[in-house]
Amino acid sequence: MKLEKYSFGTGDRFGHQGKAQLDAIKKAKEGGVDIAIVWNKSHREHLIVGTSPGDVRKEADDAVSSSSWSGAYYVDADHIGLSNVDSFMGPSDFFTIDVADFIGEKAGEDELEAFVKKYSEYCGQLSIDGILTPLEITIDKVRNIAEKYLVAVNQAAEIYRYIESKKGKDNFITEVSMDETAEPQTPEELLFILAALGEKGVPVQTIAPKFTGRFNKGVDYQGDVEQFNREFNDDICVIRYSVSAFNLPNNLKLSIHSGSDKFSIYPGIRRAIEEHNAGIHVKTAGTSWLEELIGLAESGESSLELVKEIYARAYSRFDELCVPYSTVIEIDRNLLPSPDEFRKWDGLQVARAIRHDASCSDYDVNIRQLLHVGYKVAAEFGDTYLQALKEHSDIVGKHVSSNLFEKHITPLFL
């Protein structure tokens, strides 16, 4: 199983937008760009929403058959580890192995020594095609990187082998993610992480490093765009180099987690993948749930009331909802309108506050992020929420589809 050059992780919190999401991918194909669609959902999301991996498989299969889509599609066991991968084994054919928790754990001295010795030949100035200034590799750097990442790589290898023993070799796509951690990984770190993955025989097809800057959920990139562009370019070149140097799959590419709505870095990403003829995987799961809220708000009446109630409850449960996502949201609590104030707004104003349109003065990054992590509240409404989605599936689906196509796919690929 070989992941296509371009792929989009659409995810879908409540499992109702599969067809609308696929519509966006179909539109891209009509425009001349082939994108594989990947429905990703993490163990954490399943717990919060009360779904199981089989539900995602069913959603994906149904969306594909009812749209007569003949392109590639996958079901991603997102951010799994050894403790929770089992329930994904049947339904999934794409596994995002998350080893961020193991970063910084130190391997045994013998193993560290052996690694440093093996890669000491890279010391000095390492010129890599496409990177402006040669990387400066020293023994100390190799040692530091080994100390920081070898245990994480070993863990990835262990999980990979476990999945392989159940699914069979070549029957699934392997992604390794290290994004949910405090420190970004430099291109040099990426180089030796890939060396270690190659050495351990992990056929990684996509890797999600933590990039420089903040990737807050559902809102634009926060950070130095020029620096991001440079590092992103360098990461692509490191990957191309590593594929031949460390015997990794030749379709290996970068994966961008929390990739939705990062409008200010899309031009740089596009430039780099075009220039180097590189692939990309972009995860955008949370953005579709916010489009559901926009569609429901615009529909007015009871569905608008439901959106207001979700906001009110999310507001009163701020800490509970935000703490698990603390590294990927940044909400100025003092700027959030009170639920009473929010209740006074009409549907269009609520929609404008949530919709990611920086040129609109009603757009509110704080409300948007709070609602982004507030899907737990919607899940607690159970059937009431799902019924509203069904009732207004036309308008919601339109928003889901056009958001993905116009704001994400078009600037990146078309």
Query: Whose CB is nearest to Zn ion?
Result: 257
Instruction: Give the CA radius of gyration of the chain.
Output: 21
Task: Sort strands 124-126 and 135-137 into parallel, antiparallel or unpaired.
Answer: antiparallel
> Least distance in Å: CB of 155 to Zn ion?
16
Cα separation of 254 and 236, whole Å?
Answer: 7
Kindly tell me the burial class for residue 99, based on how many C-beta atoms sit within 10 Å of its own C-beta (0-12, 13-18, 19 or more): buried
- Cβ neighbours of residue 244 under 8 Å, at least 6 residues apart? none
Nearer to Zn ion, 88 or 119 (CB): 88
> Least distance in Å: CB of 346 to Zn ion?
35
Nearer to Zn ion, 11 or 18 (CB): 11
- Cβ neighbours of residue 411 under 8 Å, at least 6 residues apart? 263, 266, 267, 270
Nearer to Zn ion, 59 or 179 (CB): 179
Nearer to Zn ion, 258 or 303 (CB): 258
> Least distance in Å: CB of 100 to Zn ion?
9
**DSSP 8-state secondary structure symbol assigned to residue 302:** H
Nearer to Zn ion, 179 or 291 (CB): 179
> Least distance in Å: CB of 122 to Zn ion?
29
- What phi and psi values does residue 120 have, to the nearest 5 degrees? -65, -20
Binding site for Zn ion (CB under 5 A): 257
Cα separation of 304 and 293, whole Å?
Answer: 9
> Least distance in Å: CB of 280 to Zn ion?
15
- Cβ neighbours of residue 259 under 8 Å, at least 6 residues apart? 9, 215, 282, 283, 284
Nearer to Zn ion, 257 or 372 (CB): 257
> Least distance in Å: CB of 137 to Zn ion?
29
Nearer to Zn ion, 238 or 256 (CB): 256
Cα separations in angstroms, 313 against 161, 265, 293, 310: 43, 33, 14, 5
> Least distance in Å: CB of 178 to Zn ion?
10
- Report H helices in 207-356: 225-245, 266-276, 285-299, 301-316, 318-322, 339-344, 347-354
> Least distance in Å: CB of 258 to Zn ion?
6
- What phi and psi values does residue 18 have, to the nearest 5 degrees? -50, -45
Nearer to Zn ion, 41 or 257 (CB): 257
